[in-house]
Amino acid sequence: EWIALLREMVLHLSGMPMFHACRPLCSEDAEVDFFNNVLHLQ
């Protein structure tokens, strides 16, 4: 759940430098999306 929340924060709060830096980790493709992949490793 925390990983999913972090992903949403990165997507919607990209105006904040800390989240903007993580934006390249997100992808429309679930196979490429870092946060989605980490979520499945848990």
Residue pLDDT, tens place only, 1-42: 899 999 999 999 989 999 999 999 999 999 999 999 998 886
| Residue 22: closest CA among 1, 41, 33 | 33
Q: Is 19 left (phi over 0), alpha (psi -120 to 50) or beta?
A: alpha
pTM (predicted TM-score):
0.80
Amino acid 42: pLDDT: 61
